[in-house]
Amino acid sequence: MNAGSHVPGLDGLRGLAALYVVLFHCWLLAFPGFPRNSGPSWLGWLMYGRLAVVFFLVLSGFSLALSPARNGWRQGGVARFLRRRAWRILPPYWAALVLSVAVAYFVVRASHHGPPNYRTVVVYGLVLQDMFPARTPNGAFWSIAVEAELYLLFPLLLLVRRRLGAAVLVTGVTLLVVARGLLAGNASLVEGDNWLAPNLAPVFVAGLTAAGVIVARERVRRMPWHWLAALAMVPVLSLIAVKGSAWTVHHYFWVDLAVAPAMAMFLAAIATGRPDFLLRLLATRPVRGLGNFSYSLYLIHLPVVMVVVRKIAPDYVSAGLPTFCFTVVVGLPASVLSAWVFAEIFEMPFKRKRNWRAE
């Protein structure tokens, strides 16, 4: 994304979302029985890591669409867009894959199916894990393949937005996915580890469409988007609270669709400068700094947390809450520090330069 498409606060949001995913995995590995909450009820808010990934996808669609929105929803070349996405995303991902395979094979297994094998390397190396099953070296990698597939779809989505408008784009994509869910058994699609990109396309489109607020008329920009986002979030949070974690996890297909409008309106609020107190928080140096290497944090935190939980914590604390607290105190800062070092080596060089010829 070029400087002209930058919106203050988005990097900070990425950082906070990545931090939540780390805490989710600290919780997940400390308390068995997911999606049932076997930990303290006051930690129940940490159980919904999937929704943080959904937010990443909404934010991705929003960020990628900012520059096209300012240019009449034109992209500036499909091949150029895909090359720049590959240059930005793949090098740190491949480095994290090597690290994750090494940790999963030699230190602590990342999958109940067994240690990584040749199929793992091929499938994950080609970013095909959303299409083909393989032993995972890192449980966070599923969303990288989903996002890669949505990148391939992005030029077509922009074309529909430009030619037919936002309403047709959002309605068309959402209705296709809703129909898929309704036609499933008991009108609820059972998700596995693969083929999640089609289910999550509407949340990406929600972010893409919300980017239009950047060039919208002043009347639209002045709408209370933050309050509208909060209002849209109330029924979703109420449903989660009433139904519980197990029901929510088993119905993420529908929950994702329900939460996407609130997330998109929230990003519209940030883009139009509200709420002020949150923008000030997102502008602080620690939050901005965290956001700067949030991709690396997302990529490599899980092997770090798993080593802490399964190899170090048992020697010092008992299972359950003591392990969780130990992991937060030790594993969280270790993940952040490791991610910062990793980013300086494998992410920032590709973030600063557009291609290998760039000065």
What digits encode the pLDDT tens for the residues 272-323? 999 999 999 999 999 999 999 999 999 999 999 999 999 999 999 999 999 9
pLDDT digits (tens, 9 = 90+) for 156-202: 999 999 999 999 999 999 999 999 999 988 777 888 889 999 999 99
pLDDT of residue 112: 80
pLDDT of residue 5: 57
- Whether residue 1 is predicted with pLDDT greater than 60 in this model: the reply is no
pLDDT of residue 356: 59
* Beta carbons of 50 and 344 less than 8 angstroms apart: no
AA identity, residue 188:
S
pLDDT of residue 108: 95
- Whether residue 87 is predicted with pLDDT greater than 60 in this model: the reply is yes
Pairwise CA distance, residues 294 & 316, whole Å = 30
Tokens representing residue 205 in the block: 């489109």
- Whether residue 76 is predicted with pLDDT greater than 90 in this model: the reply is no
Q: b or e along 179-198 (b: 16 or more beta carbons within 10 Å of the residue's beta carbon)?
A: eeeeeeeeeebebeebebbb
Give the residue-averaged pLDDT of 196-216: 97
pLDDT of residue 353: 80
Q: Of how many residues is the chain composed? A: 359
pLDDT of residue 359: 42
> Quick one: DSSP state of residue 298?
H
Cα separations (Å) of 323 from 26, 27, 48, 49, 327? 9, 9, 19, 19, 6
Put simply, whether the predicted model's pTM sits higher than 0.85 gets the answer yes
pLDDT of residue 192: 86
- The per-type count for the chain, helices as H runs and strands as E runs, is 17, 0
pLDDT of residue 191: 87
pLDDT of residue 30: 97
pLDDT of residue 357: 58
Tokens representing residue 299 in the block: 């990529």
DSSP codes of every residue in 176-202? HHHHHHHTSGGG-----SS--HHHHHH
- Whether residue 102 is predicted with pLDDT greater than 90 in this model: the reply is yes
Pairwise CA distance, residues 93 & 152, whole Å = 17
- Whether residue 232 is predicted with pLDDT greater than 80 in this model: the reply is yes
Give the residue-averaged pLDDT of 139-163: 97
* Beta carbons of 129 and 141 less than 8 angstroms apart: yes
Mean residue pLDDT of the chain comes to 94
For the chain, state the CA radius of gyration.
Answer: 20
- Only one residue has tokens 């990109």, namely 197
Q: b or e along 109-134 (b: 16 or more beta carbons within 10 Å of the residue's beta carbon)?
A: bbbeeeebeeebeebbeebebbeeeb
AA identity, residue 310:
R
Three-class SS state of 358:
coil
pLDDT digits (tens, 9 = 90+) for 16-38: 999 999 999 999 999 999 999 99
Pairwise CA distance, residues 57 & 69, whole Å = 18
- Whether residue 3 is predicted with pLDDT greater than 70 in this model: the reply is no
- Nearest by Cα to 35 from 171, 191, 144, 233: 191
Pairwise CA distance, residues 119 & 141, whole Å = 15
- Nearest by Cα to 295 from 102, 96, 142: 96
